[in-house]
Amino acid sequence: MKIFTLGFVSAVGAVVSAFSYDDLLQAPRRSPAVPNKDGTTGAFTESTYSFSSHSWNASLKLVSLETGTTKAILDDANDVGDFAWAGTDAHTLLYLNESSAYTELWSLNIDSGKTKELYSFPGSVSLLKTRSTPSGVRVVVSGWAAPDGSLLSPDAPAKHDAGLLYDTTFVRHWDYWLTENRKSVFGLLLSEKDLTKVKEPFTNYLKGLGIESPIMPFPSSSDYDLHDDLLVVNAKAPELNSATNTATYFYAVNYTSSNSRDVPLNKAGYGACSSPTISRDGKKIAGLVQLENGYESDQNIVFVYELAANGTASSAKNVTYGKTFDRSPSSVFWSPDEDNVLYLTGEDTGREVLWRLDLKEPNGIPVLLNTTHSVESAEFIKSSSSKLLLSSSAIVKSTYYEIFDMKSNSTTLLLDATASVKENRVGEFWFTGSRGVQVHGFIMYPSHFDSRKKYPLAFLIHGGPQSAWTDAWSTRWNPIVWSDNGDDGYIVVTINPTGSTSYGKDFTDKIQNNWGSYPYIDLVLGLEYVTKKYTFIDSERMIAAGASYGGYMVNWIQGSALGRVFKALVTHDGVFSTLNQYGSEELYFPIHDFGGSFLKNTRGYYKFNPMNRMYHWATPHFIVHNAKDYRLPESEGLLAFNVLQELGVPSKLLHFPDENHWVLKPENSRRWHKEIFDFINHWSGSGFAMSVGDSETVLGIESAAELLAEIAAIAEIAESVDGDVEVM
């Protein structure tokens, strides 16, 4: 495999250098590539952070879809936001210029490189989408709308006091406090011949509908889709409290008379909907629907709606419901030239894949296509149904582009990644888990791996809990960087225990009311499996680390016998007390996962609470918690740290005042890696002997039966604590 960039030495006999966190954070990051209308060229952005200049440098680039050659068309493009091809013109890109508080729409001719300002929005907007229609080029964006429906003006007078008053739940979300402003979808129509000519003025298409779209806290342009005189948007159910309900509806909105479309297309008492997409003829809308309101990780079912003249649905078909297909796709889009064919992307068995779904097939089962590693985005090239431009990534490489050909059911590499390591740095394994079903995991090897040596183990636990380690690249918790940390590196193991996504609905759903049981036992059995199978793992030098639910699990492990098996633990924005989950924002999440509200099922919150076992905490522990984390408030990290300090357990607390649940800024991320790696390297160093039992019981725990007994004992403690609480 070709190894390039980032100082890898590929000469024969030369040492391959380790992939450090500086390499990770300074590697160019790419957007998905977007093909133009004649199928000749893809456009993408590449952004590079430098620790020497302490700044980003972005450029807008083109890739030939025939040869894969690239060309930077716009350098020093730090102020370039979203971009899109201008209607049917294959030579003109539109982009958002974010250099001031008033976002501007600019055009770029890809032959001459000439740029031109077309329009200045009355405030800040993002998430650009365009469509060439018979009446002109429709340009759609999103931004914050003031209560009167206008785009929030940067010149709006500041209030004299900073108080925020609420009389209903859902007061903050992810990393912001709710105000009277709401996200909305805006747009205008430009003349196709002369893009500086505005044919229909800038309008809030949702004004007066009483709905918010795109959906916070991760607004996405996949929440709306454009057709000639029809816009479909996905919005939270306006009559339900967003803190306790996941339900969203699709609305078919008429650009010119939006008030006629205030009836949702698909109100049916279901949960969250996503990815609405309009068919070629504008008569059908496909989308993903979760049947259970309040369960954010419920399986996504493909639905197809026929549109009635008044914008409601004249029929709804649940295409994949009740079928043997138990995966949960994350996006859906129509074939450009086959009326009854949909394509889906989503997770399948630890990777992200592409499926084709023929609506004429009576069994409604999507057919897997032969793609590589993980597909991050897929777009048809031209209006043909045979080729798609894929943006993909892997554990071993950052975003790369390839062309998938339906005819041969295979991909051809178009442009390789900006950062990569050898393919053989990653392996996979399966073992029998707590419920007798197979559990999947990945193993990562350090760059100088020698199977005759012994390596410390980094055991990483994912968040969610309904999420997964996949064969994809990430700038956070990148397992390759963990494996190249320290003198000789680490073996890194990532397991997808009960509750993980990509293994089917049942595997995901089974974590409900069982946060500390099945997944915990899966992790113990997985650790037992890898330490027996991979003899190069030094079971005297193991560390465990996790974020969010992964941090919950690390705290849970700290209080169990398993906690004594590790030399160090790391909790990033984790849970100290499950009771505090009611101080979170999306209350539907604990209500679902703990079997009811705090008041109605108090027992469910006491059951697997790391705090119940804090008296046993003894292993050196690194805590990270950030100020703007409103999902798991920072008191969780402070509580854990205060308890560790009182117990005299070696511990550190790292805090970022300017980060939320995630550490996103490169300089902060560099500090995060440095402090955590210094800590685990110190404690996993040799010479810190600790008895972990004989070779037959590597973990000092006999069997799953013994673990279940431990869990039962915990549940009993929960019952007794619960005894003092009046349960409604």
Ligand X SMILES: *[C@@H]1O[C@H](CO)[C@@H](O)[C@H](O)[C@H]1NC(C)=O
Contacts to ligand X by CB under 6 A: 57, 59, 74-77, 79-80, 97, 99, 104, 106, 115, 229-230, 254, 256-257, 263, 291, 308, 310, 312, 314, 318, 321, 368-370, 409-411
And the tokens for 475? 């700038």
Distance separating alpha carbons of residues 466 and 498, to the nearest angstrom: 9
And the tokens for 371? 């793609």
Q: Which is nearer to ligand X, 303 or 630 (CB)?
A: 303
Distance separating alpha carbons of residues 682 and 691, to the nearest angstrom: 19
Contact between 231 and 204 under an 8 Å Cβ cutoff? The reply is no
Instruction: State which residue has the least CB distance to ligand X.
Output: 370
Q: Which is nearer to ligand X, 398 or 447 (CB)?
A: 398
Helix, strand, coil shares, percent, the chain, to 5: 20, 35, 50
CA dihedral 141, 144, 149, 152 (to 10 degrees): -110
CB of 500 to ligand X, least distance (A): 21
Catalytic one of 629, 651, 669, 684: 629
> Sign of the CA dihedral 136, 251, 631, 24?
negative
Catalytic one of 258, 661, 669, 673: 661
For 521, phi then psi, to 5°, come to -65, -40
And the tokens for 61? 């680039």
Q: Which is nearer to ligand X, 403 or 525 (CB)?
A: 403
CB of 215 to ligand X, least distance (A): 22
Q: Which is nearer to ligand X, 335 or 609 (CB)?
A: 335
CB of 569 to ligand X, least distance (A): 39
CB of 303 to ligand X, least distance (A): 8
The amino acid sitting at 558 is Q
Q: What is the DSSP letter of 565?
A: G
Q: Which is nearer to ligand X, 195 or 525 (CB)?
A: 195
Q: Which is nearer to ligand X, 77 or 152 (CB)?
A: 77
Distance separating alpha carbons of residues 546 and 553, to the nearest angstrom: 7
And the tokens for 441? 């995991």
Q: Which is nearer to ligand X, 2 or 452 (CB)?
A: 2
Q: HSE (CB half, 13 Å, CA atoms) of 342?
A: 29
3-state SS of 168-231?
CCCCEECCEECCCCEEEEEEEEECCCCCCCEEEEEEECCCCCCCCCCCCCCCCHHHEEECCCCE
Q: Where are the alpha helices (DSSP H) in 429-500?
A: 479-483
Q: Which is nearer to ligand X, 357 or 491 (CB)?
A: 357
Task: Kindly report the length of the chain.
Answer: 728
Q: Which is nearer to ligand X, 74 or 553 (CB)?
A: 74
Distance separating alpha carbons of residues 2 and 489, to the nearest angstrom: 22
Q: HSE (CB half, 13 Å, CA atoms) of 544?
A: 24
Distance separating alpha carbons of residues 563 and 516, to the nearest angstrom: 14
CA distance to 390, 475, 579, 676, per residue, from 419 (Å): 18, 11, 42, 23
CB of 73 to ligand X, least distance (A): 10
Residues 6+ apart with CB under 8 A from 52: none
Catalytic one of 124, 213, 328, 548: 548
Helix (H, G, I), strand (E, B), or coil: what is residue 289? Answer: strand
And the tokens for 44? 């993408």
Helix pair angle (549-558, 518-533), 10° resolution: 80
And the tokens for 403? 């062309």
CB of 598 to ligand X, least distance (A): 30
Q: HSE (CB half, 13 Å, CA atoms) of 366?
A: 27
Q: Which is nearer to ligand X, 40 or 410 (CB)?
A: 410
The amino acid sitting at 517 is S
CB of 51 to ligand X, least distance (A): 13
Q: Which is nearer to ligand X, 369 or 611 (CB)?
A: 369
CB of 349 to ligand X, least distance (A): 11
CB of 55 to ligand X, least distance (A): 7
* Catalytic-residue membership of 548: yes
The H-or-E segment that residue 202 falls in is: strand 198-204
**Sequence-ordered strand ranges (E) for 520-650:** 537-547, 568-572, 621-624
Contact between 553 and 495 under an 8 Å Cβ cutoff? The reply is no
Q: How far is CA 704 from the centre of its chain?
A: 32
* Catalytic-residue membership of 53: no
* Catalytic-residue membership of 661: yes
CB of 554 to ligand X, least distance (A): 36
CB of 406 to ligand X, least distance (A): 8
Helix (H, G, I), strand (E, B), or coil: what is residue 583? Answer: helix
Distance separating alpha carbons of residues 207 and 230, to the nearest angstrom: 15
Q: What residues act catalytically?
A: 548, 629, 661
